Structure formats: structure tokens, C-alpha cells
Amino acid sequence: MWQTWNDLLFAHWPIDPDALGRLMPRALPPETFEGQAWIAVVPFWMSGVRFRRIRPVPGTSTFPELNVRTYVNVGGKPGVYFFSLDAANRVAVETARRWFHLPYLYADMQTHAEGETIHYSSKRTDGRGAPAELRGWFKPAGPVFRTQPGTLEYWLTERYCLYTIDDQGRVARADILHDPWPLQVAEAEFQAQTMLSSHGIQPFDQPPLLHFAKRLKIVAWTPRPVT
């Protein structure tokens, strides 16, 4: 599958790894950086969404998405684990739940830009998940930079696969290909943010670590069992 991610915010909070692990599948414990686990809320919008050899379908290839994610490592390959993926496209939600075994949920979502400031709102309406909302704004606040191996920013973002649990209860991995993230330090303000609490997640009480990325093209493969 081809996708382009646009106007993306990484909002990361540190969290106790034992507390986080109790909310995750036993086969996918959280990975830590210097003994600390991290949880992220990631709003953005997608464009150019299509499967291989299929042209984008009008009305289904561009839509907002909002992820709650953390980090895992299976067999020495670091990746992402998603608690939820909210999207404003019902076809995309049902397709991703079926083919990618991912916890996609439908939400009413809007996003628009005023200069460099991105205004974003999302309210989950899908009964398969707990009510959750995000409302606020964010913007870049520094020049583009490339992360360096060994840094926290590299560890959080330079991950080229996702992990999930398939219908047979096996750990499955979907590989993802993209260029290194063009990150910028960011500013943000949330008038409402219940994405984490909807999963019973309580990060440490401190401001989030914020990064912005204007655009990134990616290719994703179907998950395959690894255990």
C-alpha cells in the first residue's frame, strides 16, 4: 500500500514500562529507552492512499488519521505497536481492520491549516472503541533536522515496521519503507485530549515531547506472522 503522511505531529510522553505493559499483549511487551517507555498521540492527514496496481479511489484516498502508539522490539527488529488508529474514512477503517489486523476506528475529524498552524479535531464515534477526543492546534517551531542514531528522537521515530496480533493470536509484522523523518521541533496546545485515557493509559505528568513533519511518503506491506 502507498500512502503520504502530511502535517504530522508526534506528541510523546514518558510512561512506566510495567504499567504500560499490563495494557499490551503479553507477546509484545513495551521496548524502553534508558529504562523508560514512551507513548505517543500522532495526528496527521493522509493522501494518495492506494493498494498496489490500483489507482486511488476518489473520496477514499485523502482523510485525517489519529494514532495512539508505543514501541516494541521482536527478534531485534524495532517497530511500532498501535493501541488505536482513528480515521475519518469508513472504507479505510474496515479494510485496515480486515487486512492489517489493526484496531482502526471511525471518528468525525477535521483539519485545516492557517499559515504554518494546523488546527485539528477528532471525536471517535465508533462503538468498537471507548469514546475519545482530540482538539487543538500545532505547528513547527524550528528548522528541519535528521535524527542521529543513539538519540531519543531517532529511537522514537526511525522504525520501519509495525507489529500486531493476527486472527490466530500470532505476532505479525508489516514492514514499512520510507525516507528518514524530516523532523522539526514543534509547539502544540490541546483544548481536549482523551486519546490516552480512553485506553486506560496514564503517562507521567509532564509536558509532551513535540515534533512536526510536513510530509513523508511511505510504502507498507501486509502483516506476516513472525511467531
What mean pLDDT is predicted for residues 191-195?
Answer: 97
- What pLDDT, on the 0 to 100 scale, is given for residue 50? 73
How many domains, in total, are found in the chain?
1
- What is residue 123's predicted lDDT score, i.e. its pLDDT? 98
CATH code at position 190: 2.40.400.10
Which H or E element spans position 90? helix 90-99
Instruction: Provide the pLDDT for residue 55.
Output: 58
- For 4, other C-beta atoms within 10 Å of its C-beta total 17
Q: Which domain holds residue 212?
A: 2-225
- Are 160 and 177 in contact by the 8 Å Cβ rule? The answer is yes
Confidence (pLDDT) at 144: 98
Residue 177's nearest CA partner among 150, 191, 158 is 158
pLDDT of 95 = 86
* Residue 94 neighbours by CB distance under 10 Å: 12
pLDDT at 142 over 70: yes
Count CB atoms within 10 A of the CB of residue 136: 17
